[in-house]
Chains A and B, each alone.
Chain A
Amino acid sequence: MELRSKVPSGPIDQKWTKHKFDMKLVNPANKRKYHVIVVGSGLAGASASATLAELGYHVSCFTYHDSPRRAHSIAAQGGINAAKNYQGDGDSIFRLFYDTVKGGDFRAREANVYRLAEVSNEIIDQCVAQGIPFAREYGGLLANRSFGGAQVSRTFYARGQTGQQLLLGAYQALMKEVHRGQVKLYNQCEMLDVVLVDGQARGIVTRHLVTGKIEVHLADAVALGTGGYSNAFYLSTNAMYCNVTAAWRAYRRGAGFANPCYTQIHPTCIPVAGDYQSKLTLMSESLRNDGRIWVSQQVDDDRAPGDIPEDQRDYYLERMYPAFGNLVPRDLASRRAKDMCDQGKGVGDTKLGVYLDFEDAIQRLGAEVIEARYGNLFEMYERITGEDPYKVPMRIYPAPHYTMGGLWVDYNLMTTVPGLYAIGEANFSDHGANRLGASALMQGVADGYFVLPYTIADYLAQAKLDPVAADHVEVRGALEEVQSRNDRLLALDGDRTINSFHKELGRIVWDYCGMGRSAAGLKEALQRIPVLREEFWENAKVVGDGESINQTLERAGRVADFLELAEVMCLDALVREESCGGHFREEHQTPEGEARRDDENFTHVTVWEYAGADTAPREHREPLEFEYVPPTQRSYK
Chain B
Amino acid sequence: MKLKLHVWRQAGPSAKGRFVTYETDASEHMSFLEMLDVVNEDLESRGEEPIAFDSDCREGICGTCGMVINGRPHGPWKRTTVCQLHMREYRDGDQIWIEPWRADGFPLQKDLFVDRSAFDRIVAAGGYISVRTGSVPEANAILVEQNNAEKSMDAASCIGCGACVAACPNASAMLFTSAKAAHLNLLPQGQPERNGRVLNMILTMEAEQFGSCTNHGACENACPKEIKIDVIAMLNRDYMKALLKAS
B247 interfacial contact with A, CB 8 Å: no
The residue in chain A whose Cβ has the minimal distance to the Cβ of B109 is A210
Q: Indicate whether A134 sits within 8 Å of B149 (C-beta atoms), given known contacts A172-B129, A274-B30.
A: yes
Give bound CA distance, A230 to B115, whole Å: 28
Partner of B58, one of A161, A273, A279: A279
The residue in chain A whose Cβ has the minimal distance to the Cβ of B37 is A278
Q: Indicate whether A273 sits within 8 Å of B143 (C-beta atoms), given known contacts A66-B116, A541-B45, A548-B110.
A: no
Which B residues touch A71, using CB under 8 A? Answer: 62
B214 interfacial contact with A, CB 8 Å: no
Give bound CA distance, A158 to B54, whole Å: 27
Q: Indicate whether A122 sits within 8 Å of B134 (C-beta atoms), given known contacts A86-B140, A131-B189, A140-B143.
A: yes
Instruction: With both chains docked as a complex, state the minimum distance between the C-beta of A132 and any C-beta of chain B, in angstroms.
Output: 8
Chain A residues 365-397 with CB under 8 Å of chain B are: 379-380, 383-384, 386
Q: Determine if B124 and A176 form an interchain contact, defined as CB atoms under 8 angstroms apart.
A: yes
Q: Determine if A66 and B139 form an interchain contact, defined as CB atoms under 8 angstroms apart.
A: no
B11 interfacial contact with A, CB 8 Å: yes
A507 interfacial contact with B, CB 8 Å: no
Q: Determine if B58 and A240 form an interchain contact, defined as CB atoms under 8 angstroms apart.
A: yes
Partner of B128, one of A140, A172, A281: A172
The residue in chain B whose Cβ has the minimal distance to the Cβ of A156 is B139
Q: Determine if A179 and B124 form an interchain contact, defined as CB atoms under 8 angstroms apart.
A: yes
Q: Determine if A549 and B34 form an interchain contact, defined as CB atoms under 8 angstroms apart.
A: no
Partner of A84, one of B115, B139, B187: B139
Q: Determine if A276 and B30 form an interchain contact, defined as CB atoms under 8 angstroms apart.
A: yes
B57 interfacial contact with A, CB 8 Å: yes
B117 interfacial contact with A, CB 8 Å: yes
Q: How large is the interface on B (under 10, 10 to 19, 20 to 34, 35 or more residues)?
A: 35 or more
The contact string, 1 if C-beta is below 8 Å from chain A, for chain B 12-46, is 10000000000000010111011101100101110
Which B residues touch A66, using CB under 8 A? Answer: 54, 64, 115-117
Which among B90-98, B152-160, B163-171, B235-243 touches the partner chain?
A: B152-160
Q: Determine if B57 and A75 form an interchain contact, defined as CB atoms under 8 angstroms apart.
A: yes
Q: Determine if A276 and B140 form an interchain contact, defined as CB atoms under 8 angstroms apart.
A: no
The residue in chain A whose Cβ has the minimal distance to the Cβ of B189 is A131
Give bound CA distance, A72 to B142, whole Å: 29
Which A residues touch B150, using CB under 8 A? Answer: 133
Partner of A273, one of B29, B47, B113, B139: B29
The contact string, 1 if C-beta is below 8 Å from chain B, for chain A 441-463, is 00000000110010000000000
Which among A163-171, A254-262, A611-619 touches the partner chain?
A: A163-171
Instruction: With both chains docked as a complex, state the minimum distance between the C-beta of A51 and any C-beta of chain B, in angstroms.
Output: 4
Give bound CA distance, A136 to B183, whole Å: 15
Partner of B12, one of A185, A450, A548: A548
Which B residues touch A176, using CB under 8 A? Answer: 124, 128, 130
Which A residues touch B6, using CB under 8 A? Answer: none
A624 interfacial contact with B, CB 8 Å: no
Q: Determine if B47 and A159 form an interchain contact, defined as CB atoms under 8 angstroms apart.
A: no
The residue in chain B whose Cβ has the minimal distance to the Cβ of A124 is B139
Which A residues touch B146, using CB under 8 A? Answer: 136-138, 140
Which A residues touch B127, using CB under 8 A? Answer: 172, 175
Instruction: With both chains docked as a complex, state the minimum distance between the C-beta of A241 and any C-beta of chain B, in angstroms.
Output: 5
The contact string, 1 if C-beta is below 8 Å from chain A, for chain B 48-89, is 111010111111111110000000000001011000101010
Chain B residues 113-151 with CB under 8 Å of chain A are: 113, 115-117, 119-120, 123-125, 127-134, 136-140, 142-146, 149-150
Q: Determine if B44 and A74 form an interchain contact, defined as CB atoms under 8 angstroms apart.
A: no
Q: Indicate whether A70 sits within 8 Å of B64 (C-beta atoms), given known contacts A178-B124, A273-B29.
A: yes
Partner of B27, one of A173, A274, A279: A274
Instruction: With both chains docked as a complex, state the minimum distance between the C-beta of B223 and any C-beta of chain A, in angstroms.
Output: 15
The contact string, 1 if C-beta is below 8 Å from chain B, for chain A 420-456, is 0000000000000000000000000000011001000
Q: Determine if B37 and A239 form an interchain contact, defined as CB atoms under 8 angstroms apart.
A: no
Q: Determine if A278 and B33 form an interchain contact, defined as CB atoms under 8 angstroms apart.
A: yes
Q: Determine if A168 and B156 form an interchain contact, defined as CB atoms under 8 angstroms apart.
A: yes
The contact string, 1 if C-beta is below 8 Å from chain A, for chain B 166-186, is 000000000000000001100
Give bound CA distance, A67 to B116, whole Å: 8
Give bound CA distance, A129 to B190, whole Å: 9
Which A residues touch B88, using CB under 8 A? Answer: 386
Q: Determine if B129 and A70 form an interchain contact, defined as CB atoms under 8 angstroms apart.
A: no
The residue in chain A whose Cβ has the minimal distance to the Cβ of B26 is A276
Give bound CA distance, A133 to B236, whole Å: 22
Which B residues touch A125, using CB under 8 A? Answer: 136-139
Give bound CA distance, A399 to B226, whole Å: 30
Instruction: With both chains docked as a complex, state the minimum distance between the C-beta of A555 and any C-beta of chain B, in angstroms.
Output: 10
Instruction: With both chains docked as a complex, state the minimum distance between the C-beta of A373 and any C-beta of chain B, in angstroms.
Output: 14
Which A residues touch B130, using CB under 8 A? Answer: 176
Which B residues touch A137, using CB under 8 A? Answer: 146
Which A residues touch B124, using CB under 8 A? Answer: 175-176, 178-179
Q: Determine if B123 and A175 form an interchain contact, defined as CB atoms under 8 angstroms apart.
A: yes
Give bound CA distance, A185 to B119, whole Å: 14
Give bound CA distance, A497 to B42, whole Å: 9
Give bound CA distance, A178 to B11, whole Å: 31
Given A173-B128, A173-B133, A541-B47, output 16 extra A-B contacts at Cβ < 8 Å.
A69-B120, A70-B57, A126-B131, A126-B134, A129-B137, A131-B189, A133-B183, A140-B143, A158-B153, A179-B125, A241-B56, A281-B59, A383-B84, A541-B45, A543-B43, A543-B48
**What are 27 sample pairs from A and B whose C-beta atoms fall under 8 A apart?**
A66-B115, A70-B56, A70-B64, A71-B62, A72-B62, A75-B61, A84-B140, A128-B142, A131-B187, A133-B149, A133-B150, A133-B152, A141-B143, A161-B61, A172-B127, A239-B57, A239-B58, A240-B55, A274-B27, A276-B38, A380-B84, A383-B86, A384-B84, A386-B86, A497-B45, A543-B49, A551-B52
Question: Which 5 A-B residue pairs are closest in the complex by CB-CB distance?
Answer: A140-B143, A172-B128, A129-B136, A133-B153, A179-B124
